[in-house]
Amino acid sequence: MYKIGIDLGGTNIKAGIVDASYHIIDEASVKTLAHRPYMEVIDDMANLVLSLIQKNNIPMEDIEGVGIGSPGLIDAANGIVAYSNNFNWENVPLCKELETRLQKRTAISNDANCAALGEQKAGAAKDCKNVIMITLGTGVGGGIIIDGHIFEGGHAGGAELGHTMLIANGEPCTCGRKGCIEAYVSATALIRDTKRAATKNPSSVIHTLCNHNLDNINGKTVFDAALQNDATALTVKDNYISYLGEAICDYINVFRPDVVLLSGGVCNQGEALTQPLNEYIKSRCFGTDKAFIPPVRIATLGNHAGTIGAAALLE
């Protein structure tokens, strides 16, 4: 038996056939063209799934169902995208529409939740039952796995770990508040802080690394500059570790999981990121040495986490 995982993104719809061992045996994608009427997007999702199944010569009765990871505010219990800013969707009955087209059981969750579930089933947390995963991208997505299952919150709009306070009245956040974790630890925030620091410090090596055009700065620049012992970069990097370290302590104090996973482009830094974070949280989590302090690890499945996790929703 196989399951289909769909990773519905703002740019592409990706679908994968996932086997019982959580391997993706084949995958395909089409453009989302998100601002069309939602029925057209759902038509394309269904057609993508059908063509992928046909291409692999899998009988429809061997497909258990279809799981979907979607951005936005998801009402998982009712299979509805309650609200998606990316798609300009409101109360779209995605599961029902896809069931009608495919005659298969469906399930849905937020894309960050699916990525966390994928890592728990087959990635960096596969030895763990309780997992917090933070995706450090344009924004900050959070996935909470309790006892092997996604925790959605009691109503749509829970598990938004990036939208808890780090510095009240601080940097503006995309959610409308000021000072959320997202506003300090997203890749966007790291790039903002690198640019600001470079602007204030004309002699920083950051200027050389970005060819004297601050628009070339990305989430890697500050780490590269720090490797050259650039004082400006070291300060930005240390601040970033502190922000992220405080955020991780918060998640540990609330969920006390088996492991905290990080994903997103910034995580290409690997141990340069996890080593100082593991050190930082050691003395700061509630209870310090009297309580279990979970390790911080980098997620390993990359873009496949969402597809695998979406398929695993059907369990």
User: In the complex, what is the shortest distance from the CB of residue 103 to its own copies, in angstroms, rounded to a whole number?
Assistant: 31
In angstroms, what is the minimal distance from the CB of 177 to its own copies?
A: 5
- To the nearest 10°, the Cα dihedral for 137, 142, 147, 151? -140
Based on CB atoms, which residue is closest to its own copies, 4 or 128?
128
C-beta closer to its own copies: residue 170 or 265: 170
The answer for residues whose C-beta is within 8 angstroms of residue 309's C-beta and 6 or more apart is 5, 67, 69, 109, 113, 114, 115, 116, 117, 118, 119, 120, 121
Q: Minimum distance from CB of 260 to its own copies (Å)?
A: 11
Nearer to its own copies (CB atom), residue 295 or residue 302: 295
Quick one: 218 exposed, middle or buried, by C-beta within 10 A (0-12, 13-18, 19+)? Answer: middle
**Residue 165 or 214: which CB sits closer to its own copies?**
165
- Contacting residues toward its own copies, per CB under 8 A: 73, 82-83, 90, 129-130, 144, 146, 151-161, 163-168, 175-177, 179, 242-243, 246-247, 249-250, 252-258, 283-288, 290-292, 294
Q: For residue 230, count CB atoms less than 10 angstroms from its CB and return exposed for 0-12, middle for 13-18, buried for 19 or more.
A: buried
Query: Strand 2-8 and strand 131-136: pairing?
Result: unpaired
Look-up of token digits 């959320």: 180
Residues 86/74, Cβ–Cβ less than 8 Å: no
| Distance (Å, whole) CA 202 – CA 200 | 6
Other C-beta atoms lying within 10 Å of the C-beta of residue 152: 18
CB contact burial 193-209 (16+ within 10 A = b; e otherwise): bbbebbeebeebbbbeb
Nearest to its own copies of 217, 236 (CB atom): 236
Cβ of residue 231: shortest distance to its own copies, in angstroms?
20
CB of 117 to its own copies, least distance (A): 16
DSSP-assigned letters across all residues of 251-282: HHHHH--SEEEEESGGGGGTHHHHHHHHHHHH
- Distance of alpha carbon 190 from alpha carbon 213, whole angstroms: 17
Q: Which residue's CB is nearer to its own copies, number 4 or number 180?
A: 180
- Compare residues 85 and 208 and give the one whose CB is closer to its own copies: 85
CA–CA separation, 183 vs 193, rounded Å?
A: 10
Q: Smaller CB distance to its own copies: residue 217 or 293? A: 293
CB of 60 to its own copies, least distance (A): 35
Closest CB to its own copies among residues 86, 164 = 164
